[in-house]
Structure formats: C-alpha cells, structure tokens
Structure 1
C-alpha cells in the first residue's frame, strides 16, 4: 500500500504512537504527507505540534503553529506544553498573551491555564501567577483539579503557603492530589505542625488516601521525627492492606531511620518483597543517619551482590558515610566510581563530595569539587562555607559567602553558623555581632544556640572572656554543654582560672557526670601546679565512677587503619616508629623546639615528663605515616581528644623539617600544618 493511500484515521493513530515513542523520523513522514495534502487538517497538525514538542524541537513546533491557516485552543495548549517541558517557561507565558488577543481563544480551557500556572511555578513568577489565578476564578476553571493543583504548586514554589491554603480550602470536596500537594508543600517549607494538623483533619477520609499520600505522610513523620505518628501510619497501612510498592516500603524505612529506630528500619527493609535501588539507598541512609557508617558501606557491598546498580542518591549516602568515618581513600574511590558511572555531575553527589572531602581533611579537594559543579544550591554553598570555617580558613569562608550573595542565593540558618565560625577564626567581633543581630534579623532568621555558641567562641578567641560570660548570662536561650565547655576551655587557654572554676561548678551542677569538664578542670589545676586540686578532682571522678577516655590517634595507610595510643607497644612497626620519633625530635630541637613539660598533667619528674611527651599518640601516628607513605604525600591523622600544646608546636616544626603537609582532626577542629604554620593560627 502506498503511503498516500493511508487513511486519515490511520495517520492519526500512527501519530499518537510516534508521539508516545518519540519517533521523530517516522513522524516527519506523516508531516511530509500533510504538506502535500490538498486540504488543511487541524487535528493532525495539532498532533504534529505535540510530536515536535515531545521530541525536543519546540522551534519546529512553533513554525508548524505559525503556518496554520486556522488554530484552536488545543494548538496553543500543545505548543505551550512543549515550551514548558523543554525548559522555556517564559515563551509559554508569552504565548498565552498572544492567544488572549485572538478571537478563537476567547474561551481558553483548563489545560492552557494549568500549563500557564506551571510556567509561573518554574519561573517563580508570582505576579503573573496571580493574574492567572484571577482569570480562572472569574471563569470558574478553578474547580478543575488540574488548575487547582497547578495553583497550589505555583504558590508552593513562590513560598506563598497561606495563598495555597486558601486555594485548598476554597474548593469543596476531597481531592487526594490536592491533599498530597499540601502535605508536601508544608513539609517543604518547614511548617511541620501545619502539615500534622492537616493530616489529622483528613483522618476521616483515610479510605481515600492513595500510595502517594502515605509516602507524603511518612515523609512528614521523618521530617518531624514523630515516631509515634509513624507507628500509627505504618499500622494503618498494614490494616488497610495497602500494597507495599517500593516507594511506600522505602518511605517506611526512611521514616524509622530518621526517627532513630534503626532496628525497625532494618526489619521494614528485610520484609520488603521487592527491593530496588530506592529501598537499598533508603536503608543505607537510615544506618548513616544514625552514625552507623561502616554498616551503611557494608550494605552497599551486599547490594552489589544482588546486582542492584547505585544511583546518584546512593553515591551521596556512601560519600556522606565516608565523611562520617573521615575515610578519605574510600571516598576517593567512590568519587572515581561515580564519575565512571556518570553520576558525578548530579548536584546531590557534588554536595556530598564537598562534605566528604571537608570532613576527611582535604579542603583543597572540597574546593575543587565545589568548583567542578555545573549547578549549585544552598546546600553546596553552606557546605563549602562551613568546610572552610572548620579548616580555619575564615577569609575563604567569608569570600564564598559574599560570592553566594552576589549570585542571588538567600542565606539560611546553617549559612550563618559557617559565617560566625569564620568570624571566630579571624577574631572579627564587630562583624560577628552585625551578622547575628542585624543581617539575620533582616532575613527573618531566628538565631539558635549554634549561632550563640559561635559568638561565645568568637569573644573567647578575642580574649574577651568576661564579655563572653555576660553574653551567656543575659542571652535568652537554652545553652547546651558545648557552649559552656567553649568558655571553660578558653579559661584554660587564657589562664582565667577563677572564672574557669565558676564555669566548671555551673557545668557540673547541670551535667554532674560530664567527663570532659572534669578533665578540663584537672588540666587547669595541673598547669597552675595545683596538684592537691588535681588529686581532689581525680578522687571525685573515681567516687562517681567517671573514667577519662584514653587518647588515641589513627591513620589510614593503603586502605588499612592503624590505631596508636601513648603506651601501646603492640604495633608490628613500633621499633621503627620510635626510632623515627627520636629522629624527628632531634631535628626539631635544632631549630628551637623545647618540650613543653607543662602539658604533662602528672606530678612526675621533668625528665619523665619530656619522655612522656615524646610518645603522644599523634606523634606515633605521624611517624608511621612518614615511614609508610610516598615522599611528599600529605599525612592525615585523626585524634579523639584535643591536641596538647606541645604536640601542636612539635607538629608545626615537623611539617617544616620534613616538607610534608600534616592534617590532624582532633576533638575540636582540623589543623593543617604546612611549612611550620597551622591553619588554626595557634588557637583551638
């Protein structure tokens, strides 16, 4: 049969198939026949507009549209949808203005306005969205579910939750899609109590809830960490016999994980009849969110055994797990794997890379990961700002913050934690007060205890401990132990022993079993040679069965973690390590190193103190790194306690004599030692 003899109905059927399968080549053959046809066929031409739009050629679709001797509302609706789906929402809105002047478009339908509102959402064009809303109210189109839901989405994107709520409440009857949109809108804007109220109000319509509703409500339980509500929803799903598709099942796993019930998350995952990358990623995230990073990585290996391939969210979980472990080499491997798989370009992976490299001690790699991102969101900016701040690079952090503002990104609660940390690194008291009391207020961000603690740290860094105490006394917030310890630690550094004693007494009234406070107080007394007081503190600790955590340091070499303690003799290379430590100490003594025996918090002879200092755990770990890694390679060491003053001085000089960069993450912060200097500027 010749193509010219194909019936009109067959052509229409073929065009529908070509549109569905995006078969542009075959669609063009129908287009060629239409051009040769003696009469114009409106319906077939509308299908052609749809075909070119769906196949990513909105320009050709426009040419077809412009060449039509007559058009109807379907023609315009198809072209508008094409513009929107090809990332050209402004052209879609421009087209509706053209259409409104043509008499054939006098009565535009719900699909046109649903597309127009979706375009307003894409552009966050609230003013044009309000104009569309006025028209659909006048025409009665607001009662169509497509239009109503497009209105809701437009207001969500414009952060106009009150307007969205009015739209939701204005149309009678229950619409499950609208309910789902409202729940997700409230959760997305952080209005969790409103979302819970909405869900409670819709409990009578529970029989009409669908899978999407349950996923949305489970997401609400996860965001609000409302385990009780989560149990109720899980029980309701079981009682109603709702089929556990992968999204509902993964939502249950995610809910339990975010609520801290890891055993229930594990059980919910095991009970899933079908597991795909979504459910595997959900259970890995549940473990990672609860600090079980190694278990998350083991699950990834198990996922591979079942032949399930990771996606971008899986890589984000894996990289964030490496961040939790400061496992730089493993993180490097996942970085390479993500790049090979084509997922590295995803923003969620880029953000996780910044986080992993920052927390693993490689701020340069974090900087590169940030620079390589094609697109960035507020998480990207927050990650690099806080990363710089934690590495002592206050200037770089503030520069990134100002770049962010230039790009039009709006700072958040987290942003200002990084900014205030940066001010603390630089001792910028006035700047810190400006950001806290003026900038945040102008943006409507209520400061929290994290911001106030940064301010305490900033005042302490500037040596203004009395002001720090007054700030804590007169600021209305619920101070946690981190803030009080910050002030107490500064009292030790600046030798404000009387203030330190008052602060310690206050902390121990609130937290009588806090081992860190006892250690800080004991150290202060030891530095002042008040050994009787040291004895009293240690006796008090024994009486309350409070034990000091032993100091350990660890280093990863060729994928294996090596752990060191000061008095540990078990390492197979301990003889070579001790020789290397002795060699290093001899070298740095030639350029001025004098052991700081005040750092030995035991009442023993000076000679014993010097020997004791020489084999602190971080010195052992560094020595092992020097004899086990290639010349010139940076050395990354982790330590569970704060570095002592002596080790800090010694490592600065070791970095100089060995021409090696040494990065140590202690209990307080990162220290990057390079050419005799430290990124903390000798304050930690």
Structure 2
C-alpha cells in the first residue's frame, strides 16, 4: 500500500513537472509559478522545470534565486541555469557560473562556447574549446564552427571543419548554414556540391538561402530536386513566393502539398494577409480543419495592419481561447489608431500579461503624450525589460520632459545602445545640444560603442552649435569605427560641415557618396543656401533632377531659401510654381514664407501681401515678420501696422515685435502711436528672453546667458567687452586689444 501511494505521488509530481515545462514554453509563467508553489513534494526535476520556465520568459533573476535555493542540484540544474543566461544574453554571469561548476559534461562546454560566440567573443570561445578534456565528441566542434560562421569568419570555420576527427550531418549543415544565412550563396552552393552527406535540412537551407537573397528561380530549382521534401521544405518555398508577391504560385504550391499541418495552413493564410487578399485569407481560414492560436492571431494582426480594427475585434471576439499574442495584437491596433480607452479596457481584461503586452500599452500612452498613464503602468510592472525603460525615455523626450527622461535613464540597472541613443536623441529634439554631446562622452566612458544613430545625433548637435572642431573629432572617430560609408552618417557629416561654414568640405563629402539619396542632396542644397551660395544651390538642384532624384518638401525649402538670400526672384517664383504643377508637392507655410521673404527683399510688398491673402493655409509668424520688416525698410506704415497686428496675435509676449512697430512709428514722427505701442507691450506683459550665445574654444563649448550673473569670469568678460567697444570707436591702437584677448587663451 505504501509503495502504491509513493508511486501515485510520483506520478502526480511527474505530471505537474511536465505541466510547468509546458506552461513555460507557452509563456504562461504566472500559471507555472502557481503550479510550482502548490507542489507539496518538489524534486530536483521540479526545480529544473521552473528554472527553465523563468529563463524562457526573461525572468533570469528569479531563475537564479530559485537555483540558489535548491536543496540539491544535479548537472541538469547547472546546465539549465547556464542555458538561461545564454538565452538572455548574460555572458558574464554564465561564465562565472561555468567556473563554479563541480562537474561538467560536453553539453556544459558547448553551452559556454555558444554563449561566447553569440556575444562575438570568438577568442574566449576558442580558448575554451582548446581546453576541452575530450576532443572526440562532435557537439563542441559543431558549436565552435557555428560560432565562426555566424560571425562570418568563414576561413576559421572551414579550417576547424577540416580538422574535425569525425564529422556528422550537423557539422556539414552548420557550415552550410553559415553561408546561406549570411547571403553567401556562391560559397554555399560550392560547399553544398562538396558535401559528403546531405539530408532534407541541407536542401532546405539552400532553398531558404536563395529565398532570402530574392533568387526565386534558383530556390525553385533546388526545391524541385529535393529527394523527400518535408513540410518545412514546402512552407519555405511557399513563403518565398508570398514574400515576392507571387500569391498565385504560393497557392498552387499549397494545393499540391501531400500533407498539410497547421503550420502549412497558417503560412498560406499569412501569405494572403501579407498581400492584402483578406477575402481569400478568410475563406482559407474558414476551411481549416483545425485552427490554432497562430491562425487566429495571424488574421487579427493582418486586419490591424491595414487599420480594419472592427474586423480584427470581430475575430478576437470569436476566438474560442484567447491568447496573449492575439490580445496584444488587438491592443496594438487600438494604439495605432489612438483609441487608448478601448486599448486600456482590453488590457484590463487580460488576466496574465506578458512583458510585450505591458510594453505595447505603455508605448501607446507615450505616443499619445499621456505620460502620467504611461508612468502609472510602468511602476506597476513587476518585471521590466530594456524595451520598457527605453519606451519611457522616448516618451518623456517627445513631450519635452527631459528631466524625467534622465531620471528614468539613471534608474536603469542595465542600459543598451538604444537607451543611450534615446537619451541623446531626446536632448537633440529639445534643443539641449550640449547635453547631447555630454551624454555621448559618458556613453563611451561606460564602454558602449556608438552606432550610426549615435554618430548622426552627435554630428547634428555639433551642427546646431556650429562646433566645427568637435565635429571634426567626430569625423575622425567615425572613420576609425567603420561608419564613414554609412549613408545616414554621411548625410549628418554634410550637414555638420555646411552649418559650420565649411560648405565646400561638405561638397567633397557629398561627391564621395556612392548612392546619394534625397537627404544627401537636401543637406548640401540647404548648406549652400545657408552660406549664401544661391547660384550653387540652384545648380545643384538641377543636377539632382538630371540624376533622377525626386525632390521633396525639404528640397524646395532649401532651394527657395537659396533664391531668397541670393535675390533670384524670377527663379524662385518659377520653382515655387513648379512645386505643385510639375512635382505634385503641395506647398507648406515654410515655402510661402520663403517666397514672401523673397518678394519683400525685392521691394515687391504688394505682391507679397496679395500672396499671403491668397494662401490656402494660415500664415505663420515668419511670414508676417517678413512683411513687417520689409514694411519698415520701405516705410509702408499701413502694411506694417496690419502685419504687426497679425504678428502680435500669434506672438503676444514677444518683445521684438512691439519694438519693431514702435520704431516704425518713431521714424515717421507718430509719437502718440509710439506711446500707445509701449502701453500695449506693458499690458501684454511681454518679456524679453535672455540672450544666449556660445563659442567653441580649445575643443570646449562655452555658453553665455545675458541674465546669468553667476557665469564664471563674468566681470572679466564685461570688462573685455567694454574695452573692445571703446577700441571699435577708436581703432588706432591694437596692442591693448591683443592683450585683453590673451586672457581667454
């Protein structure tokens, strides 16, 4: 009786352990925790199952806590924990645990080798491989080869492959996968023909490789030669057709399949959805003998993608077993359409939410500027990943709350390149260029390598500060980092040099670009315009058209601005006319502002005013400001008064508008009007903004605010400025002037 009871308990524990493993794989981690906590009799397998469940769901700290609490551990426990670290890219932790292992098997060594190679640390992986106590087993050899090919070290991989004492099919396929998954199909084909052993995996790798590089003809030829294609073979070829819009060929292949499983049906439904054939997708969905969660989620996601929220919700409502992926897809649809109340309602109905679900909801609030709601959810999250933290940084940056963004950033336990880029971009978007550059320096001190986005942001900060020397240092660093040929970075370099007054250096960079895009052309056109080279800007615009690059809104802002500064009235008017008539580009207020300014500079005030009155869109402060300034120059008091009224409606607290209008009245002797303007200025409580300037000196940027009495060396600066002013009036003796300047060097 006792033996039977123990056997019954054993079966129950075994059943519960399997349940924990299954729930972990399905992402239902809270249910797995509940099952584990209810176990009265836990064995080592129970602990190992729960550790794996934690690791697969990103809760690595909980997995380690449980590992440390285990009353006894076996080799599987150690391997499970290392595998968890590998799954969550925790190389250092995996290495430390590997060193502590009382006993290792070949799987332990293979795990650690894979951990290093996945992180790009090939030298450490090779050192570990060379320390192997048993070199006869193929598992570690295959892991090392796979690491080499994944990092595109094909020569090292082939050399090691040649040294293998015994090769199995995994060895051959590992080498082949390295070529095919890295788009090296010429080398892949050559290796495939040399293979001593092949199986269906080998053939599938070749088909998949050709599909990935867009060579459907070769993929199809290989598919037809597969001796015994499996479901994966058929699905790979089907997806290849679908990805290239060949939906008829995909359906023909689907109909020819000898055996179809849920994966096959889902692949064909996904093919219809990707190509926006929703009626066909729905018909196939209804014909399915058995639908799984992927089938329902595919339909919901497809309708969400094209904004058919009602249809997507209809599928979710009919879904017999709601899963988190489908519900998250529906929340994403609501978020994309700014329907946050409905998203919130659905979110609240989900019992067990995964991190993706939380992040989708937080991102929705952030995109809508509802940062209080985003923060509330963020604080409720028990387990946050890097996406959660980065989303909050981006959200606060978008609403201009950089103090809050920085606070979140500093709270982070771990940061990746996206975290740093989000912070730097936030500073940049909010005009805090010095903070952006300081963050770049701190990022490097932390050991994070900048990418193309980081460099582009840093260059943009330099451009806005006209910090040429710092920008040049960025240029040298970019060359060393290998991003000098990146188009995104090249465009940022062009803008930096152009805005720093080195437009011809920008032009040299432009000429070195192999495939310039519209942003490249816009950057240089804008640079010429900014530096007063109007003719060159127009000429470059014409070259752009000859090269077949279609101008956009930014292009026309640049070239019209160039015409304005160079006084090219007829050219500017012709270009403005061509925007809509030739290029189907609807002018924005910025384009009208350029033309109004162009006409005003030429003294054609009436024509400019008529254009403003005929605008389809509301004139902004820039347009009325141009009219007001021109009215003063040409002493058109009536137009000036009208422009001033419009301008004061838009910018009632800006002092300069009142001052300009007051000067106009004073110049014609209307002193009563002058007094009236001054009274109006006081009533509006217009405040003069403190002046701000900066200078780059010895690779440092010094900022000066006119109302900041705490600025270091303020007295010296003021004394120097007073002396300089005196010498400007009496420039006879420059000796004192030179000695004063030495104070700052």
User: Normalising to structure 2: TM-score of the pair?
Assistant: 0.61
Q: Residues 432 and 455 of structure 1 are in contact (CA less than 8 Å); yes or no, is this contact kept in structure 2?
A: no
Q: For 1:65 and 1:408, locate their aligned partners in 2 and report how far apart those are by CA, in whole Å.
A: 42
Post-superposition offset of 1:272: 1.4
Post-superposition offset of 1:112: 3.0
Q: Residues 624 and 643 of structure 2 are in contact (CA less than 8 Å); yes or no, is this contact kept in structure 1?
A: yes
**Alignment map for 1:193-272 (pairs within 5 Å):** 195-196=336-337, 204=346, 211=355, 225-228=367-370, 230-241=371-382, 243-272=383-412
Q: Residues 497 and 503 of structure 2 are in contact (CA less than 8 Å); yes or no, is this contact kept in structure 1?
A: yes
Q: For 1:357 and 1:321, locate their aligned partners in 2 and report how far apart those are by CA, in whole Å.
A: 12
Instruction: Provide, for residues 380-408 of structure 1, a one-character-per-residue CA deviation record: whole Å limited to 9, x for no partner.
Output: 33333333333333333334444444555
Post-superposition offset of 1:183: 8.0
Q: For 1:180 and 1:213, locate their aligned partners in 2 and report how far apart those are by CA, in whole Å.
A: 14
- Look up the match of 1:594: none
1:114 aligns with 2:254: no
Q: Residues 253 and 283 of structure 1 are in contact (CA less than 8 Å); yes or no, is this contact kept in structure 2?
A: yes
Out of 42, 46, 53, the residue aligned to residue 180 of structure 2 is 53
Q: Residues 206 and 222 of structure 2 are in contact (CA less than 8 Å); yes or no, is this contact kept in structure 1?
A: no
Q: For 1:212 and 1:97, locate their aligned partners in 2 and report how far apart those are by CA, in whole Å.
A: 37
Post-superposition offset of 1:279: 1.7
**CA distance 1:505–1:572, change in 2 (3 Å):** closer
**Alignment map for 1:431-446 (pairs within 5 Å):** 431-441=574-584, 445-446=585-586
Out of 294, 308, 317, the residue aligned to residue 457 of structure 2 is 317
**CA distance 1:200–1:409, change in 2 (3 Å):** farther
- Alignment length (residue pairs): 550
1:79 aligns with 2:216: no
Post-superposition offset of 1:268: 1.8
**CA distance 1:102–1:583, change in 2 (3 Å):** farther
Kindly name which structure, 1 or 2, has the bigger radius of gyration based on alpha carbons. Answer: 2
Post-superposition offset of 1:102: 5.1
Q: Residues 338 and 368 of structure 2 are in contact (CA less than 8 Å); yes or no, is this contact kept in structure 1?
A: no
Post-superposition offset of 1:530: 4.8
Q: For 2:722 and 2:462, locate their aligned partners in 1 and report how far apart those are by CA, in whole Å.
A: 32
- Look up the match of 2:686: 546
Q: For 2:272 and 2:523, locate their aligned partners in 1 and report how far apart those are by CA, in whole Å.
A: 33
Unaligned runs of 5+ in 1: 1-8, 121-127, 156-161, 588-619, 630-684
Query: Counterpart of 1:227 in 2: which secondary structure?
Result: coil
Out of 187, 190, 194, the residue aligned to residue 63 of structure 1 is 190
**CA distance 1:555–1:64, change in 2 (3 Å):** closer
Q: Residues 463 and 495 of structure 2 are in contact (CA less than 8 Å); yes or no, is this contact kept in structure 1?
A: yes
Q: For 1:380 and 1:463, locate their aligned partners in 2 and report how far apart those are by CA, in whole Å.
A: 34
- Look up the match of 2:439: 299
- Look up the match of 2:66: none
Post-superposition offset of 1:82: 3.6
1:391 aligns with 2:512: no
**CA distance 1:15–1:412, change in 2 (3 Å):** same
Q: For 1:163 and 1:391, locate their aligned partners in 2 and report how far apart those are by CA, in whole Å.
A: 52
**CA distance 1:376–1:137, change in 2 (3 Å):** farther
Q: For 1:384 and 1:68, locate their aligned partners in 2 and report how far apart those are by CA, in whole Å.
A: 53
Q: For 1:96 and 1:494, locate their aligned partners in 2 and report how far apart those are by CA, in whole Å.
A: 73
Q: Residues 494 and 524 of structure 2 are in contact (CA less than 8 Å); yes or no, is this contact kept in structure 1?
A: yes
Post-superposition offset of 1:95: 0.9
Q: Residues 247 and 271 of structure 2 are in contact (CA less than 8 Å); yes or no, is this contact kept in structure 1?
A: no
Out of 215, 221, 229, the residue aligned to residue 98 of structure 1 is 221
Instruction: Provide, for residues 176-195 of structure 1, a one-character-per-residue CA deviation record: whole Å limited to 9, x for no partner.
Output: 79988998998xxxx99982
1:280 aligns with 2:420: yes
Post-superposition offset of 1:256: 1.4
Post-superposition offset of 1:579: 6.4
**Alignment map for 1:236-635 (pairs within 5 Å):** 236-241=377-382, 243-373=383-513, 376-425=516-565, 426-427=568-569, 428-441=571-584, 445-528=585-668, 530=670, 533-548=673-688, 555-558=695-698, 559=700, 561=702, 570-574=717-721, 577-578=724-725, 581-582=728-729
Post-superposition offset of 1:257: 0.6
Q: Residues 386 and 397 of structure 1 are in contact (CA less than 8 Å); yes or no, is this contact kept in structure 2?
A: yes
Q: Residues 599 and 607 of structure 2 are in contact (CA less than 8 Å); yes or no, is this contact kept in structure 1?
A: yes
Q: For 1:373 and 1:358, locate their aligned partners in 2 and report how far apart those are by CA, in whole Å.
A: 16
Pairwise CA RMSD: 4.9
Q: For 1:625 and 1:169, locate their aligned partners in 2 and report how far apart those are by CA, in whole Å.
A: 87
Unaligned runs of 5+ in 2: 1-135, 286-290, 308-331, 707-714
Q: Residues 176 and 208 of structure 1 are in contact (CA less than 8 Å); yes or no, is this contact kept in structure 2?
A: no
**Per chain length, whose mean CA-contact separation is higher, i.e. which structure has more relative contact order (CA < 8 Å, sep 6+)?**
1
- Look up the match of 1:21: 148
